[in-house]
Chains A and B, each alone.
Chain A
Amino acid sequence: MSASQANGSGGCGAPAGGIKVTAGAGSQAVVQGHVTSSGTPVPSGYARLLNAQGEFVAEVPLGEDGGFVFYAAPGDWTLRVLAPGGVRVEQPVSASRGMITELEVAV
């Protein structure tokens, strides 16, 4: 499934997790990455994006490869990962327009 198909889903909801933006960010401020545990992808869990005030902004289920993608506004964000077993891990991230920011999150 391509990013443009995910876009075509049209909803407020999450597209299938793990869709990678590969053709460049265009005018978007993309934050994407993978969640791994001891080097193995975590396919069951959630990535949440919080704004600079710590307020919830968006959430996606992780893809089969532990992947996630957000289309943020430029600025500073916090990525929080939730996974079964009470896993809760945070990582700061800065997004810029026209850039794809890659994150690797170990839980």
Chain B
Amino acid sequence: MSRSDVLVDADWVQGHLDDPGLVLVEVDEDTAAYDKGHIKGAVKLDWKTDLQDPVRRDFVDRAGFERLLSERGVSNEDTVILYGGNNNWFAAYAYWYFKLYGHHNVKLLDGGRKKWELDSREMVTEVPSRPATSYRAQEQDRSIRAFRDDVVAAIGNLNLVDVRSPDEFAGRLLAPAHLPQEQAQRGGHVPTAKNVPWSKAAEEDGTFKSDDALRALYGNEAGLDFSRDTIAYCRIGERSAHTWFVLHELLGQPNVKNYDGSWTEYGSLVGVPIELGDGK
């Protein structure tokens, strides 16, 4: 797998907007962003109402994912180009879903919505109408998803990467600084986790750093042992999907899991070990 298999740049997207068999999908937390303007032809996914189970804390199940993509007019054969706000957090999170449910031909737009906007590229408000499909998903690929027991078992054994900001890692904040400070019962991080904020993998315009810079970041600087398996987590699993994308898709690390329960689950568990303080 190389970078060009999983990532396309804004110029490429601009030149392929009308290609048949290519579907642009904007994924946001704030879907008002899509309504305000989006890349021509893009359909939208709401990370919460579309991708989360409405009752239990879990994702849409396989049948729900099939219904969703069928209704949005995405077929199994389509090349799906994902992009979104927040430096592609939610697009990376959706990318991880597409992989989890076995859609192979999916890529991220490097820099996402921010790069497109900062480049002053065209955005439209017209919502495309795509004929419904009969999308078929595979069983979840559990090799890329970690659960809480996997995380506890990984302490001191596997690479644990906490991709939240240093203040969240240390336990001084419980959420990113643009959200009200609540959620998990306790602050801190999983013992032995390395703190590599997701933002270190991205340039200011939201594009990913070069493979060499990324390898140096996680290897030499953070001290990850690339010969070991890795679990990435954040607060609710989408910033860590961004880092999962970097480690698994860009750098080709074989065994990398995203812990989507992340700190809102771990920091509320009874009896698990927690470490406080800044990264070492």
Contacts and interface: CB of A to CB of B under 8 A. Distances in A.
A57 B118 CA distance: 20
Contacts of B180: 3, 6-7, 28, 71
B182 interface: yes
A39 interface: no
A73 interface: yes
B165 A15 contact: no
A24 interface: no
Contacts of B235: 12
Given A14-B85, A16-B30, A49 B178 contact: yes
Interface string B60-87: 0000000000000000000000000111
A35 interface: no
Interface string A1-32: 00100110111111111000000000110000
Interface stretch (B150-158, B168-176, B210-218): B168-176
B110 interface: no
Given A57-B165, A58-B165, A71 B181 contact: yes
Given A11-B29, A51-B167, A57-B165, A69 B178 contact: yes
Interface in A48-81: 48-49, 51, 55-61, 64, 69-73
B178 A59 contact: yes
A13 B238 contact: yes
Contact of B117 (A51, A60, A84): A84
Interface residues of B, number: 42
Contact of B204 (A49, A58, A70, A82): A82
A104 B200 CA distance: 28
Interface in B1-58: 28-30, 32-33, 36, 47-48
B197 interface: yes
A51 B117 CA distance: 25
B114 interface: yes
Contacts of B197: 55-56
A49 B177 contact: yes
B119 A84 contact: yes
A13 B167 contact: no
Given A12-B234, A12-B238, A14-B178, A84 B30 contact: no
B222 interface: no
A58 B181 CA distance: 13
Interface bracket on A: 35 or more
Interface in B158-213: 165-167, 172-173, 175-183, 197, 199-200, 204-205
A64 B36 CA distance: 9
A12 B239 contact: yes
B89 interface: yes
Given A46-B114, A57-B167, A13 B86 contact: yes
B129 interface: no
Given A56-B197, A56-B199, A82-B204, A13 B181 contact: no
23 contacts: A7-B179, A11-B47, A11-B48, A12-B175, A12-B179, A14-B30, A14-B86, A15-B178, A17-B30, A48-B204, A51-B166, A55-B165, A55-B166, A56-B199, A56-B200, A58-B176, A59-B87, A61-B30, A71-B180, A72-B177, A73-B172, A82-B204, A84-B117
Given A7-B182, A73-B177, 14 more contacts: A7-B180, A9-B48, A11-B48, A11-B238, A12-B86, A13-B86, A14-B85, A15-B178, A28-B181, A45-B117, A46-B118, A55-B197, A64-B36, A82-B114
Interface of A: 3, 6-7, 9-17, 27-28, 44-46, 48-49, 51, 55-61, 64, 69-73, 82-85
